[in-house]
Amino acid sequence: MSTDADAEAEGTARGRGGRRGSWIVPVTAIVMGGVFLAIYLGHHDIGMAVAGLVVMLGYAVVLVFGSRRSEALSLLRGQSSDERGRSIEQRASSVTLHVLVMVLVGGFIVSTVRGHGQDTWANLCAVAGGVYILSTIVLTRRG
């Protein structure tokens, strides 16, 4: 016998990572493929236009069909309705942040040594650091 709480929990899970939520990433990939197509056609680069579209369509297809058999592809598609999946997403996000910050700092150092282009790297480093500090403050206050 199902209760109202069970139905609400199921609806929440479906919204976060179930059927409805699982189409956001593939649809976004398809839209981005169209954006790449338009940008590169605007620059008269047909090869990159087609390549960008094909890569993004391929990614969407792999996610849609592969997520049925692969937990990793399921998570990449946005289907994380249990605690384990959310934990994996959080750890992956943390690793991504740390690697990205190292790349940004490395890019800043290299561009500083070369003597040009360091403003862009410095601004990206500032955004990454600022967001990390602000989100840490907000999340510690929320509980």
pLDDT tens digit sequence for 73-131: 999 998 887 899 999 999 999 999 999 999 999 999 999 999 998 999 999 999 999 99
Dihedral sign of CA atoms 54, 57, 61, 67 in order? positive
For position 11, what pLDDT does the model report? 43
Q: How far apart are CA 9 and CA 21, in angstroms?
A: 15
pLDDT tens digit sequence for 5-64: 444 444 444 444 445 568 899 999 999 999 999 999 999 999 999 999 999 999 999 999
pTM higher than 0.95, yes or no? Answer: no
Q: How far apart are CA 141 and CA 33, in angstroms?
A: 39
Q: How far apart are CA 75 and CA 140, in angstroms?
A: 26
Question: Could you tell me the residue ranges of all domains in the chain?
Answer: 1-81, 83-143
